[in-house]
A and B are shown apart, each in its own frame.
Chain A
Amino acid sequence: MKEIVIMSGKGGTGKTSITAALGALAGSKAVMADCDVDAANLHLLFDPQVEHEEDFYSGKKAVIDYDLCTDCGICEEKCAFDAIHWQDGRVVINDVSCEGCSVCFHLCPVDAIRMEDNLAGKWYRAKSRFDNPFVYAHLGIGQENSGKLVSKVKQEAKKVAEELQRPFIFVDGPPGVGCPVISSLSNADHILIVTEATESGLHDLQRLVELTEYFKLSASCVINKNDLNEESDRAISAFCREHNIPVVERIPFHPAFYETLEQGKTLIESDNKEIIAKIEHIYQYLTKGE
């Protein structure tokens, strides 16, 4: 089984559009995992039928037991996140501001504060309209993606792929180079980087490649909207050459990207033969030898 993670570094490069199209091509052969949980949107294109859902807990939240609270105000004074305020003569914790650091829990002289597991969202095992087994998650308002959640989604995707003996897992990775990204890269077999021909596209590609090189992961690159800026396109190509990262495809800017999105479709369902051929080529490149 081969786990391929599709990353971008920069947001808005077309990563999810390309991931969805690869999923549509693979059908039941590939398990899909949406680890871009801050802005999970693969499900919008996949119209999934949910087979299983589960609550996801992450971190802790402080809760006050008002039967024990003596209104001493120590917690309000010591909270480093300004999450506790006086309201109608008693201290109230603001759920969104509470970081779960537990300082109030430790300092409360009458043990009126307890730390409860924080319900961050739900994760789902489903089947996409292309017959892909599909694992994704939804976060509650104000909750953030985390290495823990990415690790959970990837673990479930792997379990499904093993159970059903599917040869591929395609992971839609989160943007940036932080904790969720490190977690996405962990144990991956290949990283497909989708970038775009802009200055920030190049910059974020460089940061991502620093990571893939650190972890000694095999990586390849797609330059989307490669005709946006010739100079950036050349600089990205040169950078990839220098770092032995094959540029699998260059895709010129095309309205098909947003037109299909507007219709809830994948690029494979567009009527643009050139783009479909390019996606097919990327798919063949990623799945060759299996």
Chain B
Amino acid sequence: MKVAFTAQGNGWYEKVDLRFGRAKGFFIVDTETDQAEYLDNTQNLEAAHGAGTSAAQSVINTGAGALVSGSVGPKAGSVLKAAGIEVYTVEGGTTLKDAYNLFKQGKLKKQVL
């Protein structure tokens, strides 16, 4: 399965971006191979309105089955829910590497959408 993290930059030691719609980018990891790819989110970050729902569409397009972020707003949440993507939350300052480990160990809190 692929899991998407909102990220402040591209790299395992970058931090999870607590914003969802206006996150810097998405760090997408394949849990079978531990391989990561990065998806820039500048286009949504720069949107005047609708950043959350557009970002949700971007996440769906990556084929991710789960999302790890700060917290997701009500509209973006309903888009993700409809697509069957589960949302998990982390504390501020967590690196992508730590967040990924916590995710694998099933230690992240699930956000009820």
With A183-B22, A187-B92 given, is the CB distance from A147 to B71 under 8 Å?
no
0 or 1 for each of B19-30: is its CB under 8 Å from A? (1 = yes)? 101100000000
The answer to whether A148 and B92 have CB atoms under 8 Å apart is no
**Chain A residues, CB < 8 A from B87:** none
Cα distance, A149 to B46, chains bound together (Å):
9
Nearest residue, chain A, Cβ from B89: A216
Cα distance, A212 to B16, chains bound together (Å):
22
CB distance from B5 to the nearest CB of A (A): 16
Q: Does B49 have its Cβ within 8 Å of any Cβ on chain A? A: yes
The answer to whether B22 and A59 have CB atoms under 8 Å apart is no
Cα distance, A74 to B92, chains bound together (Å):
50
Contact of A58 among B18, B22, B48, B92 (CB under 8 A): B48
The answer to whether B19 and A147 have CB atoms under 8 Å apart is no
A interface SS class = helix
The answer to whether A146 and B52 have CB atoms under 8 Å apart is no
The answer to whether B46 and A148 have CB atoms under 8 Å apart is yes
CB distance from A131 to the nearest CB of B (A): 28
**Chain B residues, CB < 8 A from A183:** 22
Q: Does B73 have its Cβ within 8 Å of any Cβ on chain A? A: yes
Cα distance, A280 to B46, chains bound together (Å):
39
Residue among B21, B49, B50, B92 with max Cβ neighbours from chain A (10 Å): B49
Question: Interface residues, chain B, CB within 8 Å of chain A?
Answer: 18-19, 21-22, 45-52, 70-71, 73-74, 92
If A59-B48, A147-B51, A151-B19 are given as contacts, then 18 extra A-B residue pairs at C-beta distance below 8 Å, sorted by A number, are: A146-B49, A147-B21, A147-B22, A147-B47, A148-B46, A148-B48, A148-B51, A151-B22, A179-B49, A182-B52, A182-B73, A183-B22, A187-B19, A211-B74, A214-B73, A214-B74, A215-B73, A216-B71
